[in-house]
Amino acid sequence: MDKNELVQKAKLSEQAERYEDMAAAMKAVTEWGEELKVFYLKMKGDYYRYLAEVAANSQTSYSEAFDISKKEMQPTHPIRLGLALNFSVFYYEILNSPEQACALAKTAFDEAIAELDTLNEDSYKDSTLIMQLLRDNLTLWTSDNTADDANGGEGEN
């Protein structure tokens, strides 16, 4: 593939929001000279800026949804539990905030456990499945943090 085709592929990938494909095409273009390398690194910076903007918008949306769910839904409601699960994963994986992730997941799990006997039969299966996922994440995350602490805080996270 020549450099014009690679640049065109990168531009199409960007328009389609297929940023990994865009980055791969542009990286191949960098072999054609310094000007193209600068262009690639600029696009890579744009990509990371886009990801940062998405993260900020995600946090705002999650926070708003979480506030409403606490006022309008029972702690055992599958949508509220699913939101808590996803929001806690967002804290852990995107914001690199394991403490907040664990606190959110633990609170959601504990509040749901306290009201488990109020669940109707239709929601029971969905709610308990999500609660299991919350508990699994808590177990994984606390063991990750314990391992990080044992290694002097030099874990993968």
pLDDT in tens, 54-93: 888 899 999 999 999 999 999 999 999 999 999 999 999 9
pLDDT band at 111 (very low <50, low <70, confident <90, very high): very high
pLDDT at 151: 64
Distances (CA, A) of 14 to 30, 42, 56: 17, 13, 20
Neighbours of 69 (CB within 10 A): 20
Distances (CA, A) of 100 to 33, 54, 88: 45, 19, 7
pLDDT at 102: 98
pLDDT at 157: 47
Query: Is residue 28 within a helix (H) or strand (E), and if so which, with residue range?
Result: helix 19-29
pLDDT band at 136 (very low <50, low <70, confident <90, very high): very high
pLDDT at 130: 96
Residue 144: which region, alpha, beta or left (left: phi > 0; alpha: psi -120 to 50)? alpha
Asked if residue 19 has pLDDT above 70, the reply is no
With CA atoms as reference, report the closest residue to 96 among 148, 136, 152.
Answer: 148
CA–CA separation, 38 and 23 (whole Å): 13
* Residues 98/145, Cβ–Cβ less than 8 Å: yes
pLDDT in tens, 32-58: 677 777 777 777 787 788 888 888 889
Strand locations in the chain, DSSP E? none
